[in-house]
Amino acid sequence: MRQTHGATSTLSRGQEGDCWASPSLRMGCLWRKTLSFCLVFVPMYLHGASSQEAAPAGPRKPFFERLRRLEEQFRRFQEVTLTHLQSVASNYNVSYNVDLRFRSLAEESQAVAQAVNRSQAAVQEELARLRAWVRKAWRRGRKVDTRLRALDLTLGERSQQQARERKEHKAQRDALQDSLARLEGLVHSQGTRLAALEGRLPVAHPGTAAPGPALVLAPTQPEQLGPSSLKLPRDRQELRAASEHRGPQQDSSAPLQGTWAPPAPGSRRALSGAATALRGPPQQGPGDTCGVGPTLVFPNASTENVVFLRPSFGAALRALSFCSWVRTASRHLGTLLSYATQDNDNKLVLHGRDSMPPGSIHFVIGDPAFRELPLQPLLDGQWHHVCVIWTSTQGRYWLHVDRRLVATGSRFRQGYEIPPGGSLVLGQEQDSVGGGFDSSEGFVGSMAGLGIWDRALVPGEVANLATGKEFPTGAILTLANAASAGELVQRTSCPCPELCP
């Protein structure tokens, strides 16, 4: 029996190291231990029983007591064994669940590791692509930098060339302006001589033609203008307009007056006024001019009596001519023309109001710059032809009334441009684009044969227009562009202005 116990113990110790290798081995070890216990306990029990049978009857009572105690001990041992086996089984279930969890965690860790490996591979690929893109961008940046340096060098050379050209153009323009000033002086002197001769002829031969050979004026040859005149055709055209007007230069700060008091000696205005006083004013009236087109009648100064010209100016204007037949029915002129833009409601205005001196009107270009023009002849209630001309070259302007040059000046908005896209109205002054009218500034009377040009008309064109011989070409606006009118403004068609109501 000892050998059996020893063998069992040896077996237990030999396999004890492998009992916890896996759940199945742990279960097998448990059953082996239980079997070893039974093999040890059963021979002992049988040996005790046989010794009790061989013993005499006297000492049996103690033997049975011992046997009961052994049975009780065996039951307790069974209970303990059962409890131990239950705890072992519960521990086995727990260990089995833990093993399953460890397996699931191992699988999850493997999946995470695979995902991390894949992500790392993708990141490496993206980094490789990014490195390649950075290298390409760096190479392109170097190329662009090289091109920018070349472009900067080219622009620097061009800017230097343009600066030189600007200096040359400025020098040529200065030379041209000097030549223009000299030419205007020559034209002024020729006009003075012509006015003096015109003043002497009626006195020497009143009403008869002078006998003898005709008097021919030999004009002084102007100085050579130089090569700059070939490069500025627009200035040359405006030079022609200035030379044909023969008007003296007037300082922009000096106010214009409507009187004919003689200024300094040699003035064209003084001699012309003296010749006119000897001959008498020319007999020019609207009865000799017909076919001027439609007539607009403004019956009162209501703010509803306004006419819009559409479209307005389509391009910037560096020169302007406004001509129209005008008849006023009030003691002040009112506003003939008003052009307003978003940034300035007085970009171009021929403006009069009841608080101004009778017969005067403000010629405004880009408020607050203006010139006061004398139009006293218009207050007689008759038809008169009015032309207001302006050019940005030297800021020259002229006022013609019935073909006669009434006022002129220079340095008025020199180099200025009248912008396009504004609102152009007749008969009212705008304090905002298309509105802000005031009855005290309204025009009361009639207009006919209105025309606006984007150039400076020459005196011959003004005379032809006033006599009805020819309407100058290139008009950008006429009364045919009158898009809308007030409720009381009348539009009539008369063969001649004198026949209009």
Torsional sign, CA 426, 432, 436, 441: negative
For the CA atoms of 266, 410, 172, 233, the dihedral, rounded to the nearest 10 degrees, stands at -100
| Structure confidence at residue 332 as a pLDDT band (50, 70, 90) | confident
The C-alpha atoms of residue 495 and residue 291 are separated, in whole angstroms, by 5
- CA distances from residue 289 to 328, 379, 385 in whole angstroms, order as listed: 18, 20, 10
Could you give the count of Cα atoms lying within 13 Å of 4 in the half-sphere of its Cβ?
11
| Structure confidence at residue 47 as a pLDDT band (50, 70, 90) | low
**Which segment, 15-24, 87-96, 164-173, is predicted with the most confidence on average?**
164-173
pLDDT given at position 42: 60
pLDDT given at position 367: 81
Token couple for 17: 């190291």
| Structure confidence at residue 43 as a pLDDT band (50, 70, 90) | low
Report the pLDDT averaged over residues 21-28: 58
The C-alpha atoms of residue 375 and residue 165 are separated, in whole angstroms, by 45
Computed over every residue of the chain, the mean pLDDT equals: 75
Token couple for 78: 């069974």
For residues 272 and 202, the model is more confident at 202
Task: Report the DSSP pairing between strands 307-309 and 319-328.
Answer: unpaired
Q: pLDDT per residue over 277-290, tens digit each? A: 333 344 445 446 77
Q: Bridge-partner residues for 349, per DSSP?
A: 338, 364
**pTM higher than the cut 0.85:** no
Report the pLDDT averaged over residues 80-100: 79
Domain 291-499 has CATH 3.30.420.40: no
Nearest Cα to 335, choosing from 239, 418, 430, 443? Answer: 443
pLDDT given at position 177: 77
Count other Cβ atoms within 10 Å, centred on residue 239: 22
| Structure confidence at residue 405 as a pLDDT band (50, 70, 90) | very high
pLDDT given at position 347: 93
Q: pLDDT per residue over 272-330, tens digit each? A: 333 333 333 444 454 467 778 889 999 988 888 899 999 989 999 999 999 999 999 88
The C-alpha atoms of residue 449 and residue 385 are separated, in whole angstroms, by 9
**Least confident interval from 9-13, 109-113, 242-246, 466-470:** 9-13
Residue 201: pLDDT above 80? no
Q: pLDDT per residue over 250-273, tens digit each? A: 443 333 333 333 333 333 333 333
Query: Which DSSP symbol is given to 366?
Result: S
Residue 386: pLDDT above 90? yes
Query: Which DSSP symbol is given to 416?
Result: -
For residues 109 and 487, the model is more confident at 109
Q: Specify the long-range contacts of residues 477-480, CB closer than 8 Å, at least 24 apart.
A: 477/309, 477/312, 477/424, 477/450, 477/451, 477/452, 478/293, 478/450, 478/451, 478/452, 479/293, 479/294, 479/296, 479/447, 479/448, 479/449, 479/450, 480/293, 480/294
pLDDT given at position 34: 67
Q: pLDDT per residue over 411-455, tens digit each? A: 999 999 999 999 999 999 999 999 999 988 899 999 999 999 999
pLDDT given at position 246: 45
Q: pLDDT per residue over 129-167, tens digit each? A: 999 999 999 999 999 999 899 999 889 988 999 999 999
pLDDT given at position 38: 64
* Chain center to CA of 401: 44
For residues 227 and 286, the model is more confident at 286
Q: In the chain, where are the structural domains located? A: 2-117, 291-499
pLDDT given at position 71: 85
**Least confident interval from 28-32, 75-79, 206-210, 384-388:** 206-210
The C-alpha atoms of residue 173 and residue 167 are separated, in whole angstroms, by 10
| Structure confidence at residue 11 as a pLDDT band (50, 70, 90) | very low
Count other Cβ atoms within 10 Å, centred on residue 299: 14
Report the pLDDT averaged over residues 467-490: 87
